[in-house]
Chain A
Amino acid sequence: MTRWIAIIAGLAYLVPLVGERTRPDDARLNHPAWVGLGIALHVVALVVDVVMLGALPLSSMRWGLGALALWVVLGWAFLRRRPQMESLGRLLVGLALVLLGTAQLAPDSGGTADLSSPWFLAHVALILVGLGGLAVSFTLSVLWLVVRRRLKTKRLRGISRLPTLDTLDRLNYQAMALGFVSLTAGMAVGGMWAATHPTASLGADITIWGTALLWCWYAVGLHTRLVSGWRGRLAAIFGVGGFVGLGAMVAVAGLFLQGWH
């Protein structure tokens, strides 16, 4: 049932998104209530899953991606009425819809969280926040590349409605830094939990090694910016490349293996 609630939430997000493009003057289509309805249904879908399971399904890929999509949607709700940020908001909600759709395709595999273990809870929460930051960084990077291309190719029509390159670059750095720090903390806490958990055998786990690789990728990206002062295109490439790698890893782990771990 929660799949259907999530799908209706996705449709509610789509209404103002389509409305903005096709009928910008239609007050009913562009009413903020659609976003509110979508978020409410989205939260309901996540909560019902918890209630039905009697525990937090934190290690379920479906639930995890759904929660990640909610983070991204909240970012969109925050940005959608800000000047020059509409395009970024649209990209974010597009990403959220992809995450929500993927979540509905993902199997219900994965255990429930051991609520008695604060380490495990902290691990999953930190990883989710980290992935949210990296998802936003990816969106900002894509938009940075789009705006740059338009400026370079002199396609200047409507350019002033897009965020400035400087704003996108700055936000990208902040999102990537937040994602990286949370990911690092999440990995450290997860490692501590695994060390004390007798059933954990994570040596051959693709997500652990994949995440470690991604961590290195983002570490290099942030290092080049902080130490060498490189920004702009290089930072955008790191943002896009990292998230594409993350997506590939999640797809392999979620669709072909047994879930997150």
Chain B
Amino acid sequence: MNLVAVGLSHHTAPVEVREQLATGSAHVPELLARLRADRVGAEGVLLSTCNRVELYAVAQSGRTADEVADWLARSSGGRARSLGRHMFAYQQQDALQHVFRVASSLDSMVIGEPQIVGQLRDAYKVATSAHSAGPVMRRVMDRALHVAKRVRTETAISREAVSVGRAGVELARQVLGSLNGRSALLIGAGAHGKLVATSLLGYGLSELVVANRTFERAAALAKRFGGMATHLDDLDPHLERVDVVVASTGAGRLLVTRRQMARVVRKRRYRSQVLLDLSVPRNIDPAINDLDGAYRFDVDDLREVAAQGMERRRAAAEAAEAIVRAEAQRAWQQMRGEVHRARLAQVMRRAEAIRTAEVERATRSLGELSPKQQQAIDAMTRAIIKKVLHPGLQSSRAWAEGGDQLRLEAALKALGVSTDEPESSR
């Protein structure tokens, strides 16, 4: 088994280099077919996203990871020489560990981001439908997705907010608990406001009211979010009703005042309300934070939460790396064991074929034999084969477990087994 992981990512190449190697999903099956046709690899999965273009493959015996990387650079239309210094190439257990790191989002630009798992799953689907994911790649990908799930559930790597949008959601949830069935008022159409509103809707918000200086713009935005529009001078009834207020305008003045909110919180009987002011200059009076039931945060607070989230994700990444290392080691040993067992089975099949042929020839020259005599010859020849092969098989098992690839290959060759991957063929 010759597992390789080659390609380039945001760690190794700037975007102008990454785009040279980027492969649209429509061209991936063609590229994977060429991988086999060029006798570079028996199986492969190609992951092409905006941050990485990576090929995970079972390379043909004797092919190095660098050779596969060169092939990828040439086949993708990139100039191999210029791409070469940006490309990474991992082989065997290192390759497996790299796939696990990518799946677990430890190699992502934003550590812990969840999109990579979906992208990897899509790449796997494409490879499967292109008949390019054989037993080894299936094993690698299934295991990688399992490790990703383990990392997500056992560490805090994806729990913390690291974007302004998600930080707004986290602060709202810290006050209100679940956002399911809650309502929000979005004042203005600023970029941050839209970001937070999108995140809030993603967490089960049931109603969104959009208020803007220009009613038509509010209506257009409300339509996009599936909410309703209102005029900027008609905020009070909505303030009394909604649980979250997000302000993001360029008005340059206070749109929600303390006096106004003092009335509102009384009418709400001091039920909790979160006010996120993402505008600079601010739109929501900071003094509102003194009122009971009103929790006001500005863009600096959201950035602080996001920065802390990033810090905690980094801390969680250490635990995640340990999981990935342990899983890669275990999976590699299992896979190597399976390959070795398949090869031993091949040895035994070959020996059995020789034995059967020889017994038949001997039987023909001996003439009619009784069943008892036939059984005795079978038992004897089987015992001879077992005893002759035993020391060789024992040694090869020890070399396989110890990772002594050179001796193992020599021993298997001596036993008449092809060192190509018999189990990788479909």
List chain A positions with a Cβ less than 8 A from chain B. Answer: 147, 151-152, 154, 156-160, 162, 164-167, 170, 228-234
Contact bitstring B245-283, A, C-beta under 8 A = 1, else 0: 000000000000000000000000111100000000000
Q: Contact at A229–B269, with CB atoms within 8 Å?
A: yes
B272-320 contacts to A (CB < 8 Å): 272, 289, 292-293, 295, 297, 301, 304-305, 308-309
Q: How far is the CA of A167 from the CA of B174 in the complex (A)?
A: 9
Chain B contacts for A230, CB-based, 8 A: 269-270
Scoring B170, B174, B269, B295 by chain A CB atoms within 10 A of each residue's CB, the highest score goes to: B174
List chain B positions with a Cβ less than 8 A from chain A. Answer: 159-161, 170-171, 173-178, 269-272, 289, 292-293, 295, 297, 301, 304-305, 308-309
Number of A-B contacts (CB under 8 A): 60
Q: How far is the CA of A228 from the CA of B176 in the complex (A)?
A: 20
Decide: A151 near B174, CB < 8 A? Known: A160-B160, A232-B293, A233-B292. yes
- The smallest beta-carbon distance between B300 and chain A, in angstroms, is 9
Q: Contact at A166–B272, with CB atoms within 8 Å?
A: yes
Q: Which of B269, B272, B297 contacts A165 (CB 8 A)?
A: B272
Chain A contacts for B175, CB-based, 8 A: 151, 164-166
- The smallest beta-carbon distance between B241 and chain A, in angstroms, is 14
Q: Which of B159, B176, B177, B270 contacts A234 (CB 8 A)?
A: B270
Q: Contact at A156–B308, with CB atoms within 8 Å?
A: yes
Chain B contacts for A229, CB-based, 8 A: 269, 271
Q: How far is the CA of A231 from the CA of B173 in the complex (A)?
A: 17
Q: How far is the CA of A157 from the CA of B309 in the complex (A)?
A: 9
Q: Contact at A164–B177, with CB atoms within 8 Å?
A: yes
- The smallest beta-carbon distance between A220 and chain B, in angstroms, is 16
Closest to B300 in A: A154
- The smallest beta-carbon distance between A18 and chain B, in angstroms, is 21
Q: How far is the CA of A110 from the CA of B293 in the complex (A)?
A: 46
Q: Which of A156, A157, A166, A233 contacts B270 (CB 8 A)?
A: A233
Q: How far is the CA of A165 from the CA of B160 in the complex (A)?
A: 18
Can you list 12 A-B pairs, Cβ within 8 angstroms, ordered by A?
A151-B175, A151-B295, A156-B301, A156-B308, A160-B160, A160-B170, A165-B272, A166-B177, A228-B269, A231-B271, A232-B292, A233-B270
Q: How far is the CA of A46 from the CA of B98 in the complex (A)?
A: 57
Q: How far is the CA of A233 from the CA of B308 in the complex (A)?
A: 28
Chain A contacts for B289, CB-based, 8 A: 152
Chain A contacts for B295, CB-based, 8 A: 151-152
Chain A contacts for B271, CB-based, 8 A: 229, 231-232
Q: Which of A157, A160, A233, A234 contacts B174 (CB 8 A)?
A: A160
The 3 closest A-B pairs by CB, nearest first: A166-B177, A164-B177, A229-B269
Decide: A156 near B304, CB < 8 A? Known: A151-B175, A167-B177, A232-B292. yes
